[in-house]
Structure 1
């Protein structure tokens, strides 16, 4: 009996330690147990049903309805500028990087119809929805990070109303590059990003809407070592327990409402698209949920499987 009791105690202790090391995330199963995401379901918001789902999800997350209306107006503007066959008719499933369009053809058609106006990208779109849940320090300059945000600033100068009353100063405080750590470890870079945001007075209010940021590490020299939000969108809970992710793919690429079951699926979707710099002296892309590393984040699983 004593041997059995000691063995059971050891098993319980080991199990507890493993649980502690794995964290108390929101996933029902460990990341390693979930197979890589092969297809994703999304809509380009051309149909009434997907727009209704998005409108209700934003309302449930207490996003101001004026921000939702502004988004849908910009969606209509974009969708009317490109060929309808390039867009989904409702929700469709495809590989994460698969599209119905050639991005260069889409860019040419956008320019033909909209001239030199660059349009709206992921950062402007996410901020226009989520800006009310972000606070920045009052002493921030009007603009910063111009080398990285010059096209964003061009759009904001042409259409300041897209910020829904928020300031360019707050936008830049959130999205301008911050100084990276001298490492390739994700945990260290998370701390570096948090420190950079803290210096700018960036904080996030409690909301069921969450800002999801894909952070890229650029290292051009010992003195030019930065973290930059290369892609961003807003995560929203669905009534059935699944999740929606609303994003603008790029300046001259469409809006997407993506359906996922959990954050690991979202990680796989984003990492398949943006975790492409392997074997370099930089940190691999990582995902922040507001100001914390997203639970369920993992590097591109298809890379490790290849």
Structure 2
């Protein structure tokens, strides 16, 4: 258990450090205090803190995601956002560089409120959206050593059936790997593992995979979200961590989303393991 907690804390510290990039105000001001015009194609973000934007996301996902999953997802979003000051969470989409999400204040306000659901994270929400659209073939031993916090939240929320819970643990199992620092080699091994699952064609599972060697060499999906093509852009939906809010982000193209995820984790520097890498479904993304 001690090793398990050390590994989890290492992953959480990594993710928290990455998340902080999102929570910093990144406005570019000129001398007279006016903000420079937003760059064309800059990503836009929303915390889904109004029904109009939540409906937009639901309508965008409609046809790609099971309706029951959509309604449950919307209920989780509303439950997280309820009672939070509107100046802390965005409703309408705003440029990514113009926002400043104060996670500390959000957590403080939420701690004083009663909620219908326990806090959930990126893996739980992504699985909720994808569980009916995927096919699961669990042929290897499930290694859920790093999922004990996920499992506790799932058991307390009754979000999944026993079979779905098994599929969840299978999808997010630790994957035994080699000690190589080459992300391409690690990506190929992760691709082999994820090829046990069938993914939907339209909506994509984007994951950031971590390599750790605290208890042997393993790969683990440390962050995940879903990516959906819109008419002229792409919509990425994620929940950073148990405590942090939901995010829907519009990107002009898929490569911009890959770059966003890559930059969130660029500060992770462990010379003993491969750097974090991105998978789209079961495909390694070389970026």
Task: Judge same fold: TM > 0.5, yes or no.
Answer: yes
Would you say the 8 A contact 1:67–1:164 is kept in 2? Answer: no
Q: TM-score, normalised by structure 2?
A: 0.78
Tell me, in whole angstroms, the C-alpha distance in 2 between the residues paired with 1:55 and 1:86: 22
How has the CA–CA distance of structure 1 residues 38 and 215 changed in structure 2, closer, same or farther, with 3 Å as cutoff? farther
Matching residue of 1:172:
169
Tell me, in whole angstroms, the C-alpha distance in 1 between the residues paired with 2:211 and 2:172: 14
Matching residue of 2:71:
69
Matched, 1:181 2:178: yes
Matching residue of 2:19:
none
Matched, 1:53 2:51: no
Would you say the 8 A contact 2:53–2:91 is kept in 1? Answer: no
Tell me, in whole angstroms, the C-alpha distance in 2 between the residues paired with 1:274 and 1:37: 24
How has the CA–CA distance of structure 1 residues 53 and 277 changed in structure 2, closer, same or farther, with 3 Å as cutoff? same
Q: TM-score, normalised by structure 1?
A: 0.73
Matching residue of 1:271:
262
How far does residue 191 in structure 1 lie from its aligned partner after superposition?
1.9
1:159-186: CA deviation from partner (whole Å, max 9, x where unpaired): 12x2378511100111121112221111
How has the CA–CA distance of structure 1 residues 196 and 114 changed in structure 2, closer, same or farther, with 3 Å as cutoff? farther
CA-based RMSD of the aligned residues comes to 2.7
1:103-149: CA deviation from partner (whole Å, max 9, x where unpaired): 2333343333358x7511000000000112222235667x641x311
SS in 2 for 1:229: strand
Tell me, in whole angstroms, the C-alpha distance in 1 between the residues paired with 2:76 and 2:46: 15
1:211-237: CA deviation from partner (whole Å, max 9, x where unpaired): 00011111225xx11111111001001
Matching residue of 1:100:
101
SS in 2 for 1:132: coil
Flag the structure with higher helix content: 1
Tell me, in whole angstroms, the C-alpha distance in 2 between the residues paired with 1:71 and 1:191: 32
Q: Which ranges in structure 2 are unaligned for 5 or more consecutive residues?
A: 1-38
Matching residue of 2:227:
235
Matching residue of 2:87:
85
Tell me, in whole angstroms, the C-alpha distance in 2 between the residues paired with 1:66 and 1:165: 17
Tell me, in whole angstroms, the C-alpha distance in 2 between the residues paired with 1:164 and 1:68: 17
Matched, 1:244 2:235: yes
Matching residue of 1:4:
none
1:151-210: CA deviation from partner (whole Å, max 9, x where unpaired): 1101111112x2378511100111121112221111110122133345xxx312342011
Would you say the 8 A contact 2:191–2:284 is kept in 1? Answer: no
Matching residue of 1:226:
218
How has the CA–CA distance of structure 1 residues 38 and 231 changed in structure 2, closer, same or farther, with 3 Å as cutoff? farther
How far does residue 46 in structure 1 lie from its aligned partner after superposition?
1.6
How has the CA–CA distance of structure 1 residues 59 and 267 changed in structure 2, closer, same or farther, with 3 Å as cutoff? same
Would you say the 8 A contact 1:37–1:268 is kept in 2? Answer: no
Would you say the 8 A contact 1:124–1:163 is kept in 2? Answer: no
Would you say the 8 A contact 2:45–2:248 is kept in 1? Answer: yes
In our comparison, the structure showing a higher alpha carbon Rg is 1
Would you say the 8 A contact 1:140–1:170 is kept in 2? Answer: no
